[in-house]
A and B are shown apart, each in its own frame.
Chain A
Amino acid sequence: MPRLPAGLAGLLLTVVVVGAVWALLVPPWQTPDEIAHYAYAQDLAENFRLPPRQPIGAASAHQESTDQGVADNAAGASRGAFFPQTAPPEWDPAVWATYRAEERANPAPSRSDGGGPNPAASNPPLYYLYADIAYFFDYGGTAFGRLYAMRLWGVLMVALNALAGWLLAGEVFGRRRLPQLACGAVAGLWPMQTFMGASVNPDSLMVPLWTFAFWLGARVIIRHAQVRDAIALCAVAAAAVLTMATSYALLPAVALALFAGWRGRPAEQRRAALRQLSLASLALVVPVLGWLALGRALGRSAINSIAAGAHPAPFNVRQFASYVWQFYLPRLPGMVRFRWTSGLPAYDVWLKEGTATFGWLVVPVSAWIYKAVAIVIGVIGLAALWFMAKLRGRTALWLIAFFALALVVLVGGLHFTEYRSIINGQGHILQGRYLLPVIGLLGLAFALVISRVPARWRPGACMGVLILLLCLQLLSMSAVVKAYYL
């Protein structure tokens, strides 16, 4: 049996500790959309049914069950969701005691009378099925016990993301532990990733699935599409699609990886390989088509859709280009303003919200921390681009194309969706955490730079990355403590 490398063991232990702190520190239902996701998971666990997006007939079921509603009300969760300074979670031990007495009453608040219209209803059920395993860990306890069990269960996903980052760098750079450690650390210790991973949210499962897909895609390209790698890649991509519709953005890159791996085969093997890979792709096609068919049979949308507003506008290419321009660059005279953020949207959304903005995206860290992170990412990004520009090998170029395609399709899809939302009068929808599926690529950029640092400086550089991540974690946690508890 292969031994776990000590560096990886140390990293995973660190990630588990940090993840457990996030899971327990954040007040109940104070992560993005956690109220809706918990309600979805609870209804699935209690009634084994999927929640509707819209009310069905004259049914008047609520999104939350009575059990969740009583707990939510006692802790002040919904009330304070966007207002931690004025409406922090309930601090009074007497209210907690009253709640527990109510829970013990006969009959206890119902857990199965939720299942009403739910904004998370368009999500496929895979994550919720995973979370529901933990739902039963503390089934006899309170709603809070069930919620926190699900969060702690999510920590496993954060650890798996770190593992996937380690494997990804190992595949790309070879068995080089320091770059692998740096890549795994970025994947597992990026504050927003740990925070989201340790919350009740399908992002928790989707992000490691993407990172595993990057690893497996790299394997398929480098090892010339071995059948078991291709099956694993297709299965992971299918799992990602069955977790969140966002993961359809992964499919072009998966197709590219399979094609590149197949092209890498000697010419005389390609015909046979094509048949094998076609069969392997069933691991992706069958579950996804199955879900689409099920969604159709149940009258559910299997992909996220933007509802048309009162005055929907047609898609306009020039306007879309203007919107994208303004997201990344200062607005030029004559451009219609698309977004209202204090600074450049790319900085405010991707960097600030993607790094460390907690609660319902209302708990920031100090402004200087974002600036420092921007500088570090900028330096690493430029250095990584410099090193990549010098690569000439065919396999390396296929790898770059694979990673770039996943990134471009994800970001392009997000902008396309937001633009449509804006012109349909539905407002802005982008959040920084939507970039977390490509956190493995950020880790890979760090790993690339560390792999090129002179050997004697490499341990220091790697340690620097880990210490910066841990400091970022501790500063983020202190921001959460101040916002909710002091």
Chain B
Amino acid sequence: MRRSVWLPVVALPLVALVALLIAALQPMQIRAYALGSPDGGQAAALTRGQEACQGPIRLPSAIGGARIWGGTATGLAVLDVTVHDASTGRALANGQIIASPAVGAYDAALEGSAPAGSIVRVCILAHGPAPFSLLGSLPTHPEIRMGVDGKATFSEFSLVLLEPSRKSLLAALPTAFSRAALFRFSWVGPWTFWVLLVALLGTLGLCGWAVAAAAGADLPGEARPEAEIDDALPAHPSGQAH
């Protein structure tokens, strides 16, 4: 095989593989739990001193952070996020958020320990100065209640709880595949996605093979190796296969 063929066919997939590997090793926050309430509307407007709480929530794994959605109209708002034991009310972990007028997701890194299996309530206490618009939706879970200053509300705030440590995409793939395996064909499991991943990486080689084969077929000696569109046209009416 000519050097102008095998070099790109071998080198480009390898370069791509290394680049993709580097990208897949960047650390990121992984969601341990998502309540499932869309951030499509306002669940509560928290002014200074007001507290919104939501629970009970059973933690599927240990957590190290909490993510809520919202923003202020103008200025900043300081919010305390506390995870309480749902039965005793004891604070298990807490953190802080400084929110701005940019509406979006805000993460609080939690200090303390909220182990897997705990049943908790998550509370957001506003310290002002600006009111904070906490986003959420109508209740989606009959067993989970939201309240503001102890009064029940007919809403839920959007809530995601984060794993204690950041992970790379590569390290998080087992989690992703076990989640993706639900609600598919009955025979699909995490193994299916591992097989597909291997096949997907195999396509880098497959494309190399396809290019090498195509380049081989286009070698000098072909009928119209340098055909221009115009030049190529008269040859067609003969009905050559493509």
B218 in contact (CB, < 8 A): yes
Inter-chain CA distance A181–B177, complex, in Å, is 32
CB distance from B144 to the nearest CB of A (A): 14
Inter-chain CA distance A79–B35, complex, in Å, is 12
The answer to whether A486 touches B176 (Cβ under 8 A) is yes
The answer to whether A17 touches B209 (Cβ under 8 A) is no
The answer to whether B20 touches A471 (Cβ under 8 A) is yes
Q: Which of A24, A74, A86 contacts B192 (CB 8 A)?
A: A24
Contact partners of A178 in chain B: CB under 8 A? 211, 214-215, 218
Interface size of B by CB at 8 A reads: 83
Interface residues of A in 15-58 (CB under 8 A from B): 17-18, 20-21, 24-25, 27-28
Contact partners of A462 in chain B: CB under 8 A? 211, 214-215
CB distance from B67 to the nearest CB of A (A): 8
Interface string of A157-183 (1 = CB under 8 A from B): 000000000110011111111101100
Interface string of B170-192 (1 = CB under 8 A from A): 00110111011011111010001
A275 in contact (CB, < 8 A): no
The answer to whether B183 touches A138 (Cβ under 8 A) is no
Contact partners of B140 in chain A: CB under 8 A? 79, 87
B22 in contact (CB, < 8 A): no
Contact partners of A91 in chain B: CB under 8 A? 34, 179, 182
Q: Identify the closest chain A residue to B136 (Cβ).
A: A86
Q: Which of B15, B182, B210 contacts A6 (CB 8 A)?
A: B210
Q: Which of A240-248, A341-349, A391-399 touches B?
A: A391-399
Q: Identify the closest chain B residue to A469 (Cβ).
A: B207
B16 in contact (CB, < 8 A): yes
Q: Which of B84-92, B123-131, B147-155, B227-235 touches A?
A: B227-235
Q: Identify the closest chain B residue to A392 (Cβ).
A: B230
| Max chain A C-beta neighbours (<10 A), residue from B177, B193, B206, B214 | B214
Contact partners of B239 in chain A: CB under 8 A? 223
CB distance from A64 to the nearest CB of B (A): 16
Q: Which of A24, A448, A466 contacts B193 (CB 8 A)?
A: A24
Q: Which of B183, B203, B217 contacts A14 (CB 8 A)?
A: B203
A13 in contact (CB, < 8 A): yes
The answer to whether A25 touches B180 (Cβ under 8 A) is yes
Inter-chain CA distance A481–B196, complex, in Å, is 14
Give the interface SS of chain A, mostly helix, strand, loop or mixed. helix
Inter-chain CA distance A8–B177, complex, in Å, is 31
Q: Which of A21, A80, A166 contacts B196 (CB 8 A)?
A: A21
Q: Identify the closest chain A residue to B241 (Cβ).
A: A2
A195 in contact (CB, < 8 A): no
The answer to whether B69 touches A224 (Cβ under 8 A) is no
The answer to whether B223 touches A175 (Cβ under 8 A) is yes
With contacts A82-B38, A393-B233 taken as known, whether A174 is within 8 angstroms of B224 at the C-beta atoms is yes
Q: Which of B4-12, B46-54, B93-101 touches A?
A: B4-12
A485 in contact (CB, < 8 A): yes
Contact partners of A485 in chain B: CB under 8 A? 175-177, 179-180
Q: Which of B7, B38, B159 contacts A460 (CB 8 A)?
A: B7
With contacts A176-B218, A459-B4 taken as known, whether A482 is within 8 angstroms of B38 at the C-beta atoms is no
Q: Which of B24-32, B73-81, B113-121 touches A?
A: B24-32
The answer to whether A86 touches B20 (Cβ under 8 A) is no
Q: Identify the closest chain B residue to A81 (Cβ).
A: B38
The answer to whether B209 touches A481 (Cβ under 8 A) is no
A467 in contact (CB, < 8 A): yes
CB distance from A253 to the nearest CB of B (A): 18
CB distance from A467 to the nearest CB of B (A): 5
Contact partners of A175 in chain B: CB under 8 A? 222-224, 240-242
The answer to whether B224 touches A176 (Cβ under 8 A) is yes
The answer to whether A87 touches B8 (Cβ under 8 A) is no
Inter-chain CA distance A451–B218, complex, in Å, is 11
The answer to whether A456 touches B105 (Cβ under 8 A) is no
Inter-chain CA distance A393–B169, complex, in Å, is 53
CB distance from A188 to the nearest CB of B (A): 11
The answer to whether A148 touches B185 (Cβ under 8 A) is yes
Q: Which of B23, B159, B207, B230 contacts A470 (CB 8 A)?
A: B207
Q: Identify the closest chain A residue to B180 (Cβ).
A: A485
The answer to whether B31 touches A88 (Cβ under 8 A) is yes
B225 in contact (CB, < 8 A): yes
Contact partners of B229 in chain A: CB under 8 A? 172-173, 391, 393, 396, 399, 448
CB distance from B24 to the nearest CB of A (A): 7
Q: Which of A71, A82, A142 contacts B186 (CB 8 A)?
A: A142
Other A-B pairs beyond A88-B36, A224-B237, A463-B207, 17, CB < 8 Å: A2-B241, A5-B214, A6-B209, A14-B206, A17-B196, A18-B203, A86-B38, A88-B34, A90-B36, A170-B242, A174-B223, A176-B218, A451-B227, A455-B220, A458-B215, A460-B12, A471-B19
What are 26 pairs between A and B in contact, CB < 8 Å? A6-B217, A10-B213, A14-B207, A18-B200, A24-B180, A24-B184, A79-B36, A83-B38, A90-B182, A96-B183, A145-B185, A145-B186, A172-B229, A174-B224, A174-B236, A175-B241, A176-B222, A177-B214, A178-B214, A393-B229, A396-B233, A459-B9, A467-B207, A481-B173, A481-B176, A484-B180
